[in-house]
Structure 1
Amino acid sequence: MKREMFITLFKDLISHLYDVTVIETHPLSQHFPIDKISDSSTCRAEAIQKLILQEIELLRPPGKEPQPQSPEWRPYLILHKRYVLGESPRDIASALYIGDRQFRRDHSRALQALSSRIWERYFISGAVDATIEPSSNSEDDFILHLERLDLSEVVKSLEGILVQRFRTERLRLDLKIPSRPITVSADRVLLRQILLSLVNYGLQLCAGNSLGLWLESQPDRNVIHINFETDEQWELNREEGKDLLNYVRSWAQRMNVQIDERYPLPGQKGNVSLRLMFASVQHRIILIVDDQVTALRMFERYLSHTGIEVIGITNPEQTLEVARKVQPNLIILDVMMPRLDGWEVLQALQLNPKTSKIPILVCSAWDEPELAYSLGAAAFLKKPILQRQLLDVLYQLNLLD
């Protein structure tokens, strides 16, 4: 990880300093050398909190009495009041006899100094080996786990974190969550982090008293809107948050999600709109028929990143009933099963008007693709089956985009 990226991610992480869940899943968390600065009884998030708070105190200038109007004391006082005492930006600006804009500039400089200090002390000097110094991006270490998610539920799960953050900022959160589900294909952990980081970016630019966050379902896409008012200095604040936004955009691209930004004209105040846009997804179901539970688990693992719902049954006699009820997009059918083999099940499915059009992938240890196709199978795979082979078939059957 490069220094610039570390500083960008650190500024995002410290905004959630007292939320253990967010810190644990933050992309920067895994790079902290916690094992070398903390005992094993402390969780990673708590150790990171402790490290950051200690480093803030080490920025305190010499002398017993703080000097609010002293440039030497101001970085420490801003960080101490903000992250140790939990005071709002407006209260801190008032206590230091500076305006809101001056606070933003000084706060940014103070975070720059703190993050640079932590980088130098723990990431490139004696406290830890320089093995993480190469420019590997932390997002490359994150294994994507796509699944079908309800956007309303995901945002609802973040409500407590967001409300607490806005209470600290002395701002109002206008949150609108629809009662009906809005389904998308995404990684839950990554989506939560993207939303928190986008809100954090919005707060850097927000000059009004509130920030709006709401969801919208459109025919061709689903959208999360973040709207707020900014002042004439929005370009400067945007420049400071540019690296964070670029990093968030790279996360979103991994899930095929777009981020759209709209700002006022340069030098003018006005409304800022950030939109997180998801392509509409079809609800795809695959029914797996195999008498071996281990085989069902294998298919579930192979398909866990696709967003496809998997239904598995071990009794082949239930196949026709389940297929009629569920109407899956595909049936994966084992051949060698007791009491009723796969060939019999295949013929029964083909003869029933309610299941005859469902494509069937036959899987067998015997190399018999001709027999499978002659009985109406859409595809055939010889066991043992590799994940790449299975996904290739799904692409051919238009079950994966």
Structure 2
Amino acid sequence: MVMNREKFAALFKDLISHLYDPTVLETHPLAQYFSAADPDSSTSRARAIQNLILQEIEQLRPPGSEPQSQSPEWRPYLILYKRYVAGESPREIANALFIGDRQFRRDHSRALQALSGRIWERYLLPQDGQAKEEEQPSDENEFVLHFEQLDLSETLKSLEGILSQRLRSEQIHLDLCIPAHPIPISADRVLLRQMVLSLINYGLQLCTADRLKIRVEAAPTTAGILIEFETDEQWEIIREESSELLKYIRGWGKRMHARIEEHYPPRGQRGTVSLNLVFAPIKHRTILVVDDQAAALKMFERYLSRTGIQVVGNNNPEQTLQLAAQLQPDLIILDVMMPRLDGWEVLQSLQSNPATKNIPVLVCSAWDEPDLAYSLGAAAFLKKPLLQRNLLDVLYQLNLLE
């Protein structure tokens, strides 16, 4: 990824809006660039980012002992200081500087441009003035995703405190609608939180009303977080200024099989904006484990605990055919060495029954006999003792995990 001044400025607006949220700062796309700017820092990456930004805000203070609230020379510093150091709301700052809300938005944008430009030139601009792809760290390569089953409703609940605090500072009321029932999706926990917070931050840049609506929605084939608010005639300018941030959010979504649906008013008109972060819901999978050892059943439950797959145990091989026909599981994991009826006999009976012959079977055995398993109709074979990664690899191959 090539970073240039324009991309940096767009992403910096998102970064500074989370200046006091260490979790977001640690995983933000710009975090690695700040680390490169101060490689010898002994503090955490989040603290180093905070210190550097606050230090650079102070460097924008004009000469003179007393701030002049109505002086254009002082305005960029006062806006940044009041907003990000003193924690004042945009309305409070506008009143203190005797300017309107629209003028505040313009001046705030210019102040952020000045601050990001200063940081870019002092710390991040390559010595020859050209951004070189091979010299820039790659966020996509550095950040390894860890997919797990997450509850979209619970994720939004966990962000409610951060959102409420942020919106209070903006003097915006939050209408939050979260269903009581879980909405499972497969995603990386850290990146999901980053996406939601960044998308809401983008919305706040466009929002000109005193109310923001966020709700979790679920449909038979999709699940998502919908953000709605009112904007004015200048929404196109803000959208253009935030184009790089939107590219990042879309890129993150692509890595997690999610998409962003955007709806805006007609050009040059005020109206409602809706931003919808859409995921494919988890398909509920069931695996029938046939093993006479209770410890083995517990092992499979532990190995699959974060996949969203339901594990049904059966320690009586003689009941396997009836149970499989009734449950119609997505996979049968079959042990071989069992009393009264061994796994090979169970596999043959499953393959000869029309109600169960299309259910894939994974044979697990201490004996290394994959050829026999495949000849009897098994879809996969694993030799005991089992490793979790080998089991998950088989599930990916059988399209039971995404």
Q: TM-score range by the shorter chain?
A: 0.7 to 0.9
Residue of structure 1 equivalent to 2:199: 198
1:9 aligns with 2:19: no
Shift of 1:326: 8.3
Structure 1 length as normaliser, TM-score?
Answer: 0.82
1:284–1:309 contact (8 Å) kept in structure 2: yes
Residue of structure 2 equivalent to 1:309: 309
Residue of structure 1 equivalent to 2:41: 38
1:123–1:132 contact (8 Å) kept in structure 2: no
Q: Deviations over 1:320-365 (max 9, x none)?
A: 8898798752234465899997547756877999987642112557
Q: Deviations over 1:259-304 (max 9, x none)?
A: 11111111111111111111233112446789899xx69x949x97
Q: Deviations over 1:205-226 (max 9, x none)?
A: 0011111000111122112110
2:288–2:329 contact (8 Å) kept in structure 1: yes
1:166-181 paired onto structure 2 within 5 Å: 166-181=167-182
339-348 or 107-116, which deviates more: 339-348
* Aligned-partner residue type, residue 22 of structure 1: V
* Aligned-partner residue type, residue 25 of structure 1: T
CA distance in 2, matches of 1:118, 1:334: 62
Residue 32 of structure 1 aligns to a residue whose secondary structure is helix
Specify whether residues 93 and 344 from structure 1 end up closer, same or farther in structure 2 by C-alpha distance, changes over 3 A only: same
Residue of structure 1 equivalent to 2:281: 280
CA distance in 2, matches of 1:270, 1:382: 62
- Structure 1 residue runs of 5 or longer lacking an equivalent are none
1:285–1:310 contact (8 Å) kept in structure 2: yes
Shift of 1:57: 0.6
Match of 2:25 among 16, 23, 26: 23
Shift of 1:25: 2.8
* Aligned-partner residue type, residue 162 of structure 1: L
Q: Deviations over 1:97-119 (max 9, x none)?
A: 22212211211121122122222
2:318–2:341 contact (8 Å) kept in structure 1: no
Residue 159 of structure 2 aligns to a residue whose secondary structure is helix
Shift of 1:370: 3.9
Shift of 1:140: 3.2
* Aligned-partner residue type, residue 86 of structure 1: G
1:30-179 paired onto structure 2 within 5 Å: 30-33=32-35, 36=39, 38-39=41-42, 42-124=43-125, 134-179=135-180
Q: Deviations over 1:43-102 (max 9, x none)?
A: 322222122111111111111111223222111111101000001111111222222122
- Structure 2 residue runs of 5 or longer lacking an equivalent are none
CA distance in 1, matches of 2:347, 2:250: 46
* Aligned-partner residue type, residue 89 of structure 2: S
1:244-323 paired onto structure 2 within 5 Å: 244-286=245-287, 300=303, 307-309=307-309, 317=315
1:222-237 paired onto structure 2 within 5 Å: 222-237=223-238
CA distance in 2, matches of 1:287, 1:32: 50
Shift of 1:227: 0.4
CA distance in 2, matches of 1:231, 1:62: 37
Q: Deviations over 1:171-197 (max 9, x none)?
A: 101111110111112111111111101
Specify whether residues 386 and 235 from structure 1 end up closer, same or farther in structure 2 by C-alpha distance, changes over 3 A only: same
Specify whether residues 365 and 393 from structure 1 end up closer, same or farther in structure 2 by C-alpha distance, changes over 3 A only: same
Residue 50 of structure 2 aligns to a residue whose secondary structure is helix
* Aligned-partner residue type, residue 18 of structure 1: Y
Residue 211 of structure 1 aligns to a residue whose secondary structure is strand
Residue of structure 2 equivalent to 1:242: 243
* Aligned-partner residue type, residue 229 of structure 1: E
2:317–2:338 contact (8 Å) kept in structure 1: no
388-397 or 8-17, which deviates more: 388-397
Specify whether residues 268 and 331 from structure 1 end up closer, same or farther in structure 2 by C-alpha distance, changes over 3 A only: same
Residue 235 of structure 1 aligns to a residue whose secondary structure is helix
1:66–1:73 contact (8 Å) kept in structure 2: yes
2:286–2:312 contact (8 Å) kept in structure 1: no
1:147–1:187 contact (8 Å) kept in structure 2: yes
* Aligned-partner residue type, residue 178 of structure 1: P
Residue 224 of structure 2 aligns to a residue whose secondary structure is strand
2:290–2:316 contact (8 Å) kept in structure 1: no
* Aligned-partner residue type, residue 196 of structure 2: L
CA distance in 2, matches of 1:321, 1:45: 57
CA distance in 1, matches of 2:401, 2:189: 20
Residue of structure 2 equivalent to 1:380: 381
* Aligned-partner residue type, residue 50 of structure 1: N
378-387 or 161-170, which deviates more: 378-387
Shift of 1:23: 1.8
Residue 167 of structure 2 aligns to a residue whose secondary structure is helix
CA distance in 2, matches of 1:222, 1:100: 36
CA distance in 2, matches of 1:319, 1:72: 82
2:223–2:280 contact (8 Å) kept in structure 1: yes
Residue 371 of structure 1 aligns to a residue whose secondary structure is helix
1:317–1:340 contact (8 Å) kept in structure 2: no
Residue 121 of structure 1 aligns to a residue whose secondary structure is helix
* Aligned-partner residue type, residue 379 of structure 1: A
CA distance in 1, matches of 2:40, 2:113: 22
CA distance in 2, matches of 1:254, 1:149: 16
2:153–2:216 contact (8 Å) kept in structure 1: yes
Residue 189 of structure 1 aligns to a residue whose secondary structure is helix
